[in-house]
Chains A and B, each alone.
Chain A
Amino acid sequence: MADIALTKKDFTSDQEVRWCPGCGDYSILSTMQSFLPEMGVPRENIVFISGIGCSSRFPYYLETFGVHSVHGRAPAVASGLAIARPDLSIFVITGDGDALSIGGNHLIHAMRRNVELKILLFNNRIYGLTKGQYSPTSEKGKITKSTPIGSLDTPFNPISLALGAEASFVARSVDSDRKHLTEVLRAATAHKGSALVEIYQNCPIFNDGAFDSVKDPSTKEGSLLQMVHGQPIKSAKYGVVKNDLHFEVKPLDQINEVDIIIHDAHHPDPSYAYALSRLSGSELEHVPVGYSAMLLDRVTHHWSTPNLMK
């Protein structure tokens, strides 16, 4: 624990923040700077490692240790550091292009190894730093500079992908919802092992409004399905119920309250979290937000643990 309680200011570096005005990264940064004191970890024991892209400038703005590494490779650099230095708290900051396109391989292997890393994936569904090409999370048919007749590729669902890669913790939040994002960060840092946190992040320049359905007051209440442990998974207008092997979203007036799935954030079977992850389609009509921290029988990838040192 730190000797003296630290404040948000203590985690703010002297570097001028250089994101575009209105970028969702500002609110994520601010939320993180506010959250870090609560972790109770001294600044010198916290490391932020990023890849390349707009979001990957994040480490420069935090008064902790930080490495702005190579495009897509932050999980690799961070894995080496985490294995050599299990005493540190390490965050990986990445974006949808960085994590899911050029760095897809490192992301999935960090998950399956359950390395002690908290991976924050800022998903703006576009390439920002290279000025507006489609990304691996861009919706099909998206018109961008590199897809003038619309993209043909099916987008990744980062949460489904992480679960397929044996992630032990997955979560989703939204850049502008500081309270929710803070709760998710709290759960992610409390989790033992790797955690993937997808954060919907608005790019006001190249993909403005991509998340309006989950931000606009007129639609937000209906689209955000709150996953709170021990509570029914629902929005103001919809609930999640069982449908054969899957879950489905139904208007509250068409279902019985008792049929709504009660969220078990520690469900031992990842198929549960996977079924929830499938509820968010490409159009973001319904988006589960919250986290699943699976109680899996997994060791974290700490090679220095005594039983492996023999």
Chain B
Amino acid sequence: MTKPVVALKSVVIRFAGDSGDGMQLTGDRFTMDTASLGNDLSTLPNFPAEIRAPQGTLPGVSSFQLHFADHHVLTAGDAPDVLVAMNPAALKANIKELPKGAMLIVDKDEFTTRNLQKVGYETNPLEDGSLDGYSIHAIPLTSLTVGALAEVEISKKDAERSKNMFALGLLTWMYHRPTESTIKFLEAKFGKKPDILKANLLAYNAGWNYGETTEDFANTYEIAPAKMPAGKYKNISGNQALAHGLIAGAQQSGLQLFLGSYPITPASDILHELSKHKKFNVITFQAEDEIAAVGAALGASYGGALGVTTTSGPGIALKSEMIGLAVMLELPLIIIDVQRGGPSTGLPTKTEQADLLQVMFGRNGECPAVVIAASQPSDCFAMSLEAIRIATTYRVPVFYLSDGYIANGSEPWKIPNVSELPDLKVEFARTQENFLPYDRDPKTLARPWAIPGTKGLEHRIGGIEKADKTGAISYEPKNHDFMVRTRQAKIDNVEVPDLHVDDPTGDANVLFLGWGSTFGPIASAVEVLRSNGEKVAQAHLKYINPFPKNLGDVLNKYPKVITPEMNLGQLALLLRAKYLKDIISYNQVRGLPFSTAELVEAAMGVING
């Protein structure tokens, strides 16, 4: 029996369940299988900070959304076309965002009186008509899984835990995804536990077969591969791309990569990834705290390595004093801030862009540093190279901003040829007479990188103000004024590419100007607006300190500039202060990326207003 195949241009699927149900793994596997088919895609994992929140409750719901298409994909999608809800809590937490007509797959077994009560359902939504208008598939997922595993000698609990693989198998069948890589993945993961492996494989197959044999599903769906520039692609998360970029850049610079890090969500995956690559001359040092992490990185930079530290907002707060020292020592240092909801502990697993002003100004004294930001998961690779270029050329601390959305989200990334990578070779100071540690390169204003072990360059430096050229302690008023201005001039002088403006007709009145992970949602909104006949321009800032040199002209050209930010207007504040431009700030801090629809609506308000 072959079921009719319906061709679709794009699909958004959301897997939702208890945080112990393996939804991230399920989503991740479906994504990998989708990437291997050549669809373009974008993902949005969304999970609680608690490792195992109380079972079956709303705070314990974890979800993974995947948008894949036969064309270029810019976001993980506003609303799902398909929601897989593994229990009543997952249904309740997600149903509001499911448009009528969408497909809803639920595990009927989990809709018990007790589970319904836990989340405040007085009647069973599967029976009370409240889900009318959806295409509902209420499947006894748990019991079907347990039944399929009858022959495996494992506990009922272990058998039930395989139900995510049943769901994955079903969706894999429905969307014609290949099964080989997931089978390989399971074999590698559970190779040492043959019973668990067998259970997972059986459940996966049972899910696939269920789709094939049951009459519950009339159709299957196909999404043709997307047309993408020729090359080899890999599906990659922002954190992975960032780590790979650091390794590639360190190799291009000829430097040892030294990561000093303290575990923190959502940055820890960079530490995990880099710790696997010692053969590329990478040292990872899990420090006792955030301060030691950046301190060790700075110590390594002083010794001639490429010092990097990774963290999130609360970690930046702790590192500030050491970053101040790095500004004084004028050594290369890369500080990666994978932003999350704040303030304080805030929303550890959710995204936000509210650390911008902290990294710009959160230090004592006049303490300038470079600030750059990645715009998409795949962009994290290129921006790592940029962070290294700037830090080593100018011998300055570089703040490199990412956030939870691009760190955990993934998309296809075109693997570059090594020959395409920039030359980042670094020169240390050589033995010389009358060495002056704070003599500067006239072009970059960088001081020499004089590393221990070089005869004749012995010198002492520290956080106390230094005399120009000699670096000796100086409390002289004019010298301090000069050094403060020089450190600022050095940052202002950093060369960054001009801001590119996408304005096809060249006569738009409205410019969308964003930074960081809002790129996808803004670009998606711009697509919609243009297809509706509106004229809008888009530009995206990756360099925030210093700003691109043409930014003032760009701002002057457009009467109306909208800046959407997942904060209360931090970039807008900087733009207004520097360019006296009345930016139209559009903000939300829900811990989630902007939806395309809300940005379209905001833009229409501006266009018509």
Contact with A along B271-294 (1 / 0, CB 8 A): 000000011000101011101110
Q: Which residues of A contact B292 (CB under 8 A)?
A: 73, 75-76, 79, 105-106, 109
Q: Which residues of A contact B324 (CB under 8 A)?
A: 70
A80 adjacent to B298 (CB under 8 Å): yes
A49 adjacent to B299 (CB under 8 Å): yes
Contact among A15, A50, A76 for B296, CB-based, below 8 A: A76
**A44-B458, A83-B296, A83-B300 given; A70·B288 CB < 8 A:** no
Closest to A79 in B: B296
Q: Which residues of A contact B456 (CB under 8 A)?
A: 44
B457 within 8 A of A: yes
Closest to B284 in A: A303
A70 adjacent to B463 (CB under 8 Å): yes
Contact among B285, B307, B329 for A303, CB-based, below 8 A: B285
Contact among A44, A81, A310 for B299, CB-based, below 8 A: A81
Question: How far is it, in angstroms, between the C-alpha of A78 and the C-alpha of B260 when the chains are bound?
Answer: 12
Most buried by A among B283, B298, B322, B458: B458
B469 within 8 A of A: no
Number of interface residues of B (CB under 8 A): 45
**A69-B462, A70-B325 given; A105·B457 CB < 8 A:** no
Question: How far is it, in angstroms, between the C-alpha of A106 and the C-alpha of B285 when the chains are bound?
Answer: 14
B304 adjacent to A69 (CB under 8 Å): no
Closest to B309 in A: A80
Question: How far is it, in angstroms, between the C-alpha of A84 and the C-alpha of B296 when the chains are bound?
Answer: 9
Closest to A106 in B: B292
Q: How far apart are B507's CB and chain A's nearest CB, in angstroms?
A: 54
A84 adjacent to B454 (CB under 8 Å): no
Q: How far apart are A23's CB and chain B's nearest CB, in angstroms?
A: 17
**A44-B455, A68-B463 given; A84·B303 CB < 8 A:** yes
A68 adjacent to B460 (CB under 8 Å): yes
Q: Which residues of B contact A44 (CB under 8 A)?
A: 452-458
Q: Which residues of A contact B508 (CB under 8 A)?
A: none
A64 within 8 A of B: yes
Question: How far is it, in angstroms, between the C-alpha of A117 and the C-alpha of B258 when the chains are bound?
Answer: 18
Question: How far is it, in angstroms, between the C-alpha of A70 and the C-alpha of B457 when the chains are bound?
Answer: 23
Q: How far apart are A307's CB and chain B's nearest CB, in angstroms?
A: 11
B473 adjacent to A70 (CB under 8 Å): no
Q: Which residues of B contact A80 (CB under 8 A)?
A: 258, 260, 285, 295-303, 307
A66 adjacent to B460 (CB under 8 Å): yes
Question: How far is it, in angstroms, between the C-alpha of A82 and the C-alpha of B300 when the chains are bound?
Answer: 8
A121 within 8 A of B: no
A84 adjacent to B256 (CB under 8 Å): yes
A76 adjacent to B287 (CB under 8 Å): yes
B472 adjacent to A15 (CB under 8 Å): yes
Question: How far is it, in angstroms, between the C-alpha of A106 and the C-alpha of B289 when the chains are bound?
Answer: 8
**A68-B464, A88-B453, A304-B283 given; A78·B299 CB < 8 A:** yes
Q: How far apart are B487's CB and chain A's nearest CB, in angstroms?
A: 17
Contact with B along A31-72 (1 / 0, CB 8 A): 000000000001111110110100000011011111111110
Question: How far is it, in angstroms, between the C-alpha of A235 and the C-alpha of B458 when the chains are bound?
Answer: 42
B459 adjacent to A65 (CB under 8 Å): yes
A310 adjacent to B279 (CB under 8 Å): yes
Q: How far apart are B214's CB and chain A's nearest CB, in angstroms?
A: 50
B305 within 8 A of A: yes
Q: How far apart are A10's CB and chain B's nearest CB, in angstroms?
A: 10
Contact among A15, A69, A81, A105 for B288, CB-based, below 8 A: A105
Q: Which residues of B, 419-468, contact A by the 8 Å Cβ criterion? A: 452-464
Q: How far apart are B586's CB and chain A's nearest CB, in angstroms?
A: 40
A81 adjacent to B285 (CB under 8 Å): no
Q: Which residues of A contact B291 (CB under 8 A)?
A: 70, 73, 76, 106
B527 within 8 A of A: no
A267 within 8 A of B: no
**A15-B472, A45-B452 given; A85·B304 CB < 8 A:** yes
List 19 A–B pairs whose Cβ atoms lie within 8 Å, in order of A's numbering: A44-B457, A60-B462, A69-B462, A70-B325, A70-B463, A73-B291, A73-B322, A76-B292, A76-B295, A76-B296, A77-B295, A80-B258, A81-B303, A84-B258, A84-B299, A106-B292, A304-B283, A309-B278, A310-B278
Residues in chain A within 8 A of chain B (CB atoms) = 13, 15, 42-47, 49-50, 52, 59-60, 62-71, 73, 75-85, 87-88, 105-106, 108-109, 303-304, 308-310
Extra contacts besides A13-B460, A81-B299, A83-B283 (4): CB < 8 Å: A69-B325, A76-B296, A80-B301, A81-B303
